Chain A
Amino acid sequence: GLDFDLQILFETRKNQNYKGHGLPKGKEREQRASIRFKTTLMNTLMDVLHHRPGWVEVKDEGEWDFYWCDVSWLRENFDHTYMDEHVRISHFRNHYELTRKNYMVKNLKRFRKQLEREAGKLEAAKCDFFPKTFEMPCEYHLFVEEFRKNPGITWIMKPVARSQGKGIFLFRRLKDIMDWKKDTRSSDDQKDDIPVENYVAQRYIENPYLIGGRKFDLRVYVLVMSYMPLRAWLYRDGFARFSNTRFTLNSIDDQYVHLTNVAVQKMSPDYHPKKGCKWMLQRFRQYLASKHGPEAVETLFSDMDNIFIRSLQSVQKVIISDKHCFELYGYDILIDQDFKPWLLEVNASPSLTASSQEDYELKTCLLEDTLHVVDMEARLTGREKRVGGFDLMWNDGPVSREDGAHDLSGMGNFVTNTHLGCVNDRKKQLRQLFRSLQGQKKTSN
C-alpha cells in the first residue's frame, strides 16, 4: 500500500498538470448501494457480472445502471434511450467507423492525408499498417488499376460486416472475381429487396511470420473510455492464434490454412479441441526474444502501440464520444517476416466465450479489470496509470513509463506506458491499489 501512495505523490510532484483519466473533478461521485446490470451474453461475462459484489441482474424492462449490450440493440435503441449521468453502456453509437472494414479504411486514408499535410510524408508513413484495401463495388476501378500494377500477387476478399471468417476467399486472377460478381448479381436479381453486401478487396500478406511452419495472428485487447479526449487502455494479456495446418501459398482454396480465426479452425478437419491452438502473448513474446533478442521485440511491440493509437486517432473526430460509452476492442494483428505488424481488423464485440481453461482465466480477468476501469463503484481517483492488467496507453497524449522512457527505435514512435505480453501480476497490483484507495478515502473523510 505504501509504495502506491509514494507513486501518486511522485507523479503529482513531477507533473502538476497531470490529467486524470476522465472522472468528473470536484464533485464527489455517488456511491451506489447496488449496481443493476443487464446483458444478453451468456458466457464468461455473465460469470464475471454475477460474481461482482453489489451487482444485481435486471431482467426484461427493468431500469439498469450498466448494460453490456450487443450491437444490434444499440443500433435500434441507443438514440431514444435516456441515460442518467452515472449509467454506462458497452459500445459507442457509431463504433462501426472503426470496426467495419470499409469505414475504417476510409477514415485511415483521410487521417493519413491530413498527417501528410500537417507533418510530412515520414509521419504519414506511420499509418501504413493497413494492407492496401479497396471498397467493392464502388472502388472497383481503382482496385483494378492497383491489381494490374502488381501482377501475380494474392488478394483477399472480405465481407465488411461479417465475422468469424465467413464469406472470405482468396484470389489471384480478375477472372475469379468476375465469376463471383456474376454469382452474387444473379442471386440478387431473385431477391431484389436485399441490398448488395459490401466487400473489401485487400492485399493479402504473402510472407507472414511463421512459427513451427504455421501462420498465426495476434488478438490484443484495447479498452477505450472516451474519444474526446482520447483515453485508451491496453491489456497485458492476449493470445496468438495458430492456423492448424502448415502455411503454403499453393492452396489458396484451403481457407483453413489462411484464416486463423478460431471459429474457422474449429471446422477444420484437423482440429482437435484439446489443442486450442493458442499461445498466450507472454509465451509468444519470450519465444521472439529468445530468437531475435529483446531490442527487436521492443521495436515490434512499440510498432504495435503505434497501430493502436493511430487507428483510434483516425476515428477520433468521427465517433460520437458519449460519456456513457466505453468499448472493449479486439485488435487482430498479423506479423510479417520483416517483423512488421499489420492491422487486419478491429472487433467491437470480441468473442468472450472461452475455448479452454486458460482462455477462461484470461477472459474473466480481462472483464473484471474492464469493470474496474469503468469504475461503477466510484473507487478510483482518476490518476491511475495501471489497473490490474490494463495499462493506460493514451490519455489525450502519450503516457510515459515511470522510469523515464527512452525512444529505442529512434523513429519518434510513441514509447507508451504499455506492457503487452509482459508479466501480469494483476492480483497483487489490484490488492495494493484498492488498499491504498481505501486508505486515501479514510484520510480524506
Chain B
Amino acid sequence: MLQEESDLALIIAQIVQKLKGSNLYAQLERQAWASLQRPEIKLESLKEDIKEFFKISGWEKKLQNAVYSELSVFPLPSHPAAPPEHLKEPLVYMRKAQGSWEKRILKSLNSMCTELSIPLARKRPVGEQKELLNKWNEMGTDEPDLSLFRPVYAPKDFLEVLINLRNPNYENGDSHSFRTHLGLIQVPLKVKDIPELKEFFVELGLTAGQLGVDDSTQVPPELFENEHVRIGQKVLSEQDSAAAQQYIRQGSPTALRAELWALILNISSQPEDILYYEQLKTNVIQHDLLVDSLIYKDVKLTASNDDYYFVFEDYLYQVLLCFSRDTSVLGHFAYSSASPPKSYIRGKLGLEEYAVFYPPNGVIPFHGFSMYVAPLCFLYHEPSKLYQIFREMYVRFFFRLHSISSHPSGIVSLCLLFETLLQTYLPQLFYHLREIGAQPLRISFKWMVRAFSGYLATDQLLLLWDRILGYNSLEILAVLAAAVFAFRAVNLMEVTSLAAAEAVLADLSTLKVMPLLQIFLFATVT
C-alpha cells in the first residue's frame, strides 16, 4: 500500500513538474489572479472558491485534459531509482541495437554529404530567402535536381536489422518444436494473444456498434449512427479528452473527426502555437538543411504520386520542413529508445561545446516518411494546426514505428505480434508461405511501418487511426495485417512465389478495415 502511494506521489510530482513549465500553468495563474475581482471569491474560503470557479469556467477540464495527455504519453516510472536509459528502453541488447542502427544511418547521411559536397546546413543568401518566402504556398512547383539524393534508408533496410536482432541471454536450443517461432523476428518479447486482444479491444466486439460497419448504406441510421453522432457532439461540447478517447474507439463521424482528434491529442490552437509555427517557418526560410532535399525527394516519390494525396503536396513541405527544425521534438527522446544524431560544427569534431543535434529535431526522414502527414491534410487545412497535430501524432505514436525497442507498440513487438497471430491461427498459410520463400512479414512490414498510409483508402485509414488514438496503442496495425492475410488466405494458398504473394496483396484499397478486424478477432474459431 505504501509502495503504491509513493509511486503515485512520484507520478504526481513528475506531472506537476512537467506542467509547471507549460503555457497552461501560466494561463491558470493569470485566471486565478483575475478571478479575485469576482464577487463570489471570498477571502475566508479562497482556495475552495477559486477551485469552484475553475470548475465552472472550464479551466479544470483543460487541466484534466493536460494531465490525461501527460499520462498517455509518458511511461510510468517502474522504480524511482531507475536510470533515464531505462525509461527509454529497459533492455540492454535493444539499446545497443538501436545505437548501432543510428550510427549506420548517420554514417550514410555523412557520406552522402561528402560525396555530393553539400553541407549539412547552410545559411541562405537573402535573394534565395525572398524567393522561398514568395513560393511558400507552392513549393511543390519547384523541381530541384534531386537525382543524386537517395533516401537514407527504406523500410526494407530496417527490416533486415530487426531480423538480425538477438537476445544474448536467450538460448532456445537447436531442436525445433511446435513452440519454435517460424517467423523472421527471433526475440522473445511478450505479445498479446487473441483472448487478450479481445479483451483489450472489447469495444470492437460484435455486439457493439461501429463506424466502419454499422454506418453502411444498408443499416438504418437510427440503429446506431444517429445516436453515436449525438454522443460525439456532446463529448465535444464537454471538451473532455478522456471521454473523447473512449468514444472514438467506436469510430468518429466524418464531420467531428478533426475536432475529436485535436481534443484527444490536447491540441488547441493558441496564438503562441501559431507564433511558434511562424518561427519555425522563419528558420526554414533562413537556413537550408541537407534533410530538406531528402524531404523533397520523399514527397515527390511518394505523396505526389499518390492518386489522392498529390493535391496536398504543398502542405507536406510546409509541415515537414518546419518539423525538421523543431527542437521541442527532442523532448520525445526521453521516452524513445532512439537518440538524436549528433553532429559537430565544421572543424570541431569531438568537441562537445560544438555539438549540435542534426537535424535540429533529431529525426532523420526515411523513404515514405511523408505519408505520415498526408492523411492528416484531409482533416486540417490551417498549416499551424496541421503541424501541431502531426507533431503530436509523431511523438506519441509514429516514432515507435522506426526505432528498435521492446515497447508493446514498438515495431519489433508489432512484427512479432503479427507473426505470432499468423502462426497460431493460420498455421497452414504461414507454413505454406514460408516454404515458398514468402515470409509474410516481408510483405506486411511496409504496411505497419507506414501505419497503412497510402495502402488503404483514406476513409478506411482514418477509421483505423481513430482506433489508434482510442486505444493509445499501435497493436491494431499488427492485428489488421494478420486480418488481411486471413482474408486473402484462399488466394495466398495457391501462390508459389514471393512475387505472386506480393501481387495478391498489392492492392488494399478496396478493403473495409472494421469488418476485417471484427471477423479476425471475434468471429474466428480460436
Contact = CB atoms under 8 A, between A and B. Distances in A.
Is chain B a partner of chain A in the same complex?
yes
Give chain A's interface secondary structure class. mixed
B255 A279 contact: no
B258 A212 contact: no
A364 B32 CA distance: 67
B255 A242 contact: no
A294 B307 CA distance: 24
A290 B137 contact: no
Interface of A: 211-214, 242, 245-246, 270, 272, 274-279, 283, 286-287, 289-291, 293-294, 356, 358, 423, 425
A212 B377 contact: yes
Nearest to B138: A246
B378 A212 contact: no
B141 A274 contact: no
A294 B310 contact: no
Contacts of A425: 217
B315 interface: yes
B137 A212 contact: no
Interface string B85-127: 0000000000000000000000000000000000000000000
B304 A290 contact: no
Give chain B's interface secondary structure class. helix
15 contacts: A212-B314, A212-B377, A242-B311, A246-B141, A272-B305, A274-B305, A278-B307, A283-B308, A283-B458, A287-B378, A289-B254, A290-B254, A290-B378, A293-B255, A294-B254
B62 interface: no
A213 B314 contact: yes
B458 A246 contact: no
B374 to A, nearest CB: 11
Contacts of A213: 137-138, 314
A237 to B, nearest CB: 15
Given A212-B315, A291-B381, A423-B217, A286 B310 contact: no
B434 interface: no
Contacts of A211: 311
Contacts of A214: 311
Contact of A290 (B138, B140, B255, B314): B255
B459 interface: yes
Interface residues of B, number: 25
Contact of B255 (A212, A246, A289, A423): A289
Given A274-B305, A290-B378, 18 more contacts: A212-B313, A212-B314, A245-B141, A246-B137, A246-B314, A275-B305, A277-B310, A278-B307, A279-B311, A283-B308, A283-B458, A286-B254, A286-B458, A289-B255, A290-B257, A290-B379, A291-B258, A356-B307
B33 to A, nearest CB: 39
A242 B304 CA distance: 13
A424 to B, nearest CB: 10
B431 interface: no
B522 interface: no
Given A286-B254, A290-B258, A212 B311 contact: yes
B312 interface: yes
Max count, chain B CB within 10 A of own CB: residue among A276, A278, A289, A291: A291
Nearest to A269: B143
A289 B459 CA distance: 12
A91 B377 CA distance: 42
Contacts of B305: 272, 274-275
A90 B379 CA distance: 42
Contacts of B141: 245-246, 270
A274 B254 CA distance: 29
Contacts of B140: 246
A358 B315 contact: no
Interface string B371-409: 000000111010000000000000000000000000000
Nearest to A287: B378
A291 B311 CA distance: 15
Given A212-B312, A214-B311, A246-B314, A275 B304 contact: yes
Nearest to B462: A290
Max count, chain A CB within 10 A of own CB: residue among B141, B310, B379, B381: B310
Contacts of B378: 287, 290
A286 B311 CA distance: 15
